[in-house]
Copies of this chain bind each other. A is one copy, B any other.
Amino acid sequence: MGDEPAGRTAPAGMRQLSPVDALAQLSFVVHRMLEQRAAEHDLSIIQTRLLGVLRDRNPTINELGGLLGLDKSSTSGLVERAERRGLVAREPSPTDGRSVLVSLTGAGRSLVSEASSQFERDISAFLAHLPQRDRTTLTALVTRVLVAHAAEQGIELFPGDR
């Protein structure tokens, strides 16, 4: 994971990261931004993802586990801790007596909205280091590689497409 000679698009004298290092570093930087913003609201990454997922859904514990990639027991505990903080609510499913529906409370919705808008500002500020033209190019290239990767994995990158 070392350095490499300067490439076409870099200003004279600037060193280049290897493609692997560039993506790995970028991933860490973005992940750390999210982590720090979440921490300011006393949220972990997984709690933030929980609230995020609930913004446009009222899933059962089981569905939530699927969305977050967690076992049902882990999901149960996660929801329990969020409920104790007043961020989410549980209610029995009207159609299946075994199921529980999870939803955001007003407090949970406020918290996730604030955290995510701050995170968006962080990313915008980070990208503001590039001129508009390069930013557009970067976004387009990243979109292309993500679309190709999602297609390979059989995942819908743009929900709502048929």
* B123 adjacent to A7 (CB under 8 Å): no
Which of B11, B144, B149 is close to A10, meaning CB atoms less than 8 Å apart? B144
* A19 adjacent to B147 (CB under 8 Å): no
* B22 adjacent to A30 (CB under 8 Å): no
Knowing A9-B136, A141-B138, the reply to whether A24 touches B123 (Cβ < 8 A) is yes
Give chain B nearest CB distance to A143 CB in angstroms: 5
Query: What's the number of copies of this chain in the assembled complex?
Result: 2
Give chain B nearest CB distance to A33 CB in angstroms: 9
Knowing A16-B139, A141-B138, the reply to whether A146 touches B8 (Cβ < 8 A) is no
Which of B9, B120, B142 is close to A17, meaning CB atoms less than 8 Å apart? B142
Binds B, one of A82-90, A93-101, A126-134: A126-134
Q: How far does the alpha carbon of A17 sit from the alpha carbon of B123 in the complex, in Å?
A: 14
* A146 adjacent to B27 (CB under 8 Å): no
Q: Which residues of B contact A67 (CB under 8 A)?
A: none
* B149 adjacent to A22 (CB under 8 Å): no
Q: Which residues of B contact A11 (CB under 8 A)?
A: 144
- Chain A positions within 8 Å of B, measured between CB atoms, are 1, 3, 7-11, 14-20, 22-27, 29-31, 34, 116, 119-120, 123-124, 126-127, 129-130, 134-149, 152, 157-158
Starting from the known contacts A15-B143, A24-B119, A129-B148, 15 additional A-B residue pairs (CB-CB under 8 Å) come to A3-B158, A9-B136, A9-B137, A9-B141, A19-B123, A19-B124, A20-B119, A20-B120, A20-B123, A22-B138, A22-B146, A26-B146, A27-B27, A127-B145, A129-B149
